[in-house]
Amino acid sequence: MKIRENTEMLELKILSKFAKKSCDSKGREIEEEKCDIRTDYQRDRDRILHSKAFRRLKHKTQVFLIPEGDHFRTRLTHTLEVSQIARTIARAIRINEDLTEAIALGHDLGHTPFGHAGEMVLNNLHKAGFKHNEHSLRIVDYIEIRNKNRGLNLTYEVRDGILNHTGNKKPCTLEGQLVRICDRIAYINHDIDDAIRAGILKTDMLPKKCLDYVGNTHGERINNMIIDIINNSTDQNEIIMSESMSYYMNELREFMFKNVYLDKNAKQEESKAKYVIRQLYDYYIINTESLPTELKTIDENTKNVACYYIAGMTDRYAINKFNELFVPKPWDKF
């Protein structure tokens, strides 16, 4: 018997009846021979982990643009924190940890340079609109190239979890639902930590009623939210947070929007970032010969290709392109 088959049998014995077992996956759009060692979800996780889009997350903004300090989160470290929180809960409530990890690692692949500021300006500029979750799916379906084939050909459940980690539609698996709520747990808590490090917030500014219930330190808050979900979701066909914890978590989120996410001091450089995106977009929809050939093969609409190209840029690559295209260079030929 193959190692993969042993793992699949073990899942049937150990996992909750509500968990998505690897052997019950709806499969891939293009059928492939099974791996001898890894389940389909383990294979998906590895494909995402080895993708170029995943590596680029290390130079994409989480909240603070192009942070100089080594300890500020980037989109990559955010992704890893979401994965860690989600995997801890998945293991505790006996749902599929491999599926959970694959969704978590892939959920933000489609994020733009300069974080939500980049997403906002692309959405306003581009007639078809732009949402990072939809672009994450586009990346794994079409843009990434694996073994000279276009797309990662991921399983239905991983693709569903990536697409629906945000927005109005609920993921079809408990694992996807878990990543959706762990994304929020991660960013609320690590953004508080980063805002304090940046001097935007002081600990005594945080709402006391929230801290009294959720916890006074970064670790306490995350741990208490994890325990709350475990206590309410074990042997349930839904990922549930208690009403009290949900209330105080949302209070913290509203506080962060008011004092950090929309605060003029925290976001003072965003207008410049948006200007960079606007200029690049206007340039590439006219100068189509400058767009990557491989992107042109997936869409005949030039504006779509320009949008996808800019969305894939890291913060520093976008700035370098802007400087290359719009900032005069000194004449040095003497």
Q: pLDDT digit string (tens) for 85-142? A: 999 999 999 999 999 999 999 999 999 999 999 999 999 999 999 999 999 999 999 9
Burial class (CB in 10 A: 0-12, 13-18, 19+), 77: middle
pLDDT at 334 over 60: no
What was the pLDDT predicted at 291?
97
What was the pLDDT predicted at 232?
98
How far is 103 from 98, CA to CA, in rounded Å? 9
Distant-in-sequence, close-in-space partners of 236: CB < 8 Å, separation ≥ 6: 18
Q: Phi/psi of residue 149, each to 5°?
A: -100, 140
Mean pLDDT of the region 39-44: 98
Residue 32 CB neighbours (<10 A): 10
Mean pLDDT of the region 31-44: 97
Is 196 within 8 Å of 202 (Cβ atoms)?
Answer: yes
Q: 173-221: per-residue pLDDT in tens?
A: 999 999 999 999 999 999 999 999 989 999 999 999 999 999 999 999 9
Name the H helices within the chain. Answer: 3-14, 40-49, 52-56, 75-93, 97-106, 115-125, 132-138, 156-163, 174-197, 208-214, 218-233, 243-256, 270-286, 293-296, 302-311, 315-326
Given pLDDT bands bounded at 50, 70 and 90, which one contains residue 67? Answer: low
Q: How many CA atoms lie within 13 A of 50 on its CB side?
A: 11
Angle at 72 (CA atoms; ends 70, 74), nearest 5 degrees: 105
What was the pLDDT predicted at 267?
72
Nearest to 104 by CA among 127, 122, 79: 79
Given pLDDT bands bounded at 50, 70 and 90, which one contains residue 331? Answer: confident
What are the tokens at 208? 């006391």
Residue with tokens 């890893």: 80
Q: 127-140: per-residue pLDDT in tens?
A: 999 999 999 999 99
What was the pLDDT predicted at 1?
73
Q: Which three-class secondary structure state does DSSP give residue 252?
A: helix
How far is 231 from 238, CA to CA, in rounded Å? 12
Q: Rounded to whole angstroms, what are the CA distances from 311 to 60, 128, 219, 280, 282?
A: 10, 14, 33, 11, 14
| Partners of 146 in the β-ladder | 149
Is 171 within 8 Å of 133 (Cβ atoms)?
Answer: no
pTM for this structure?
0.96
What was the pLDDT predicted at 263?
77
How far is 239 from 172, CA to CA, in rounded Å? 12
What was the pLDDT predicted at 333?
64
Q: Phi/psi of residue 159, each to 5°?
A: -60, -40
Mean pLDDT of the region 60-89: 90
CA dihedral 137, 271, 262, 309 (to 10 degrees): 0
Q: 1-32: per-residue pLDDT in tens?
A: 799 999 999 999 999 999 999 999 999 999 99
Angle at 86 (CA atoms; ends 167, 23), nearest 5 degrees: 90
Q: 242-290: per-residue pLDDT in tens?
A: 999 999 999 999 999 999 988 777 677 889 999 999 999 999 999 999 9
Mean pLDDT of the region 226-232: 98
Mean pLDDT of the region 151-169: 98
What are the tokens at 7? 């793992």
pLDDT at 66 over 90: no
To the question of domain 3-17+30-322 being in CATH 3.40.50.450, the answer is: no
What was the pLDDT predicted at 269?
83
Angle at 271 (CA atoms; ends 266, 277), nearest 5 degrees: 125
Domains of the chain, by residue range, sit at 3-17+30-322
How far is 100 from 85, CA to CA, in rounded Å? 10
What are the tokens at 80? 């890893």
Given pLDDT bands bounded at 50, 70 and 90, which one contains residue 64? Answer: confident
Helix or strand run (H / E) with residue 328: none
DSSP state of 145: E
The most distant pair of C-alpha atoms in the chain lies apart, rounded to whole Å, by 76
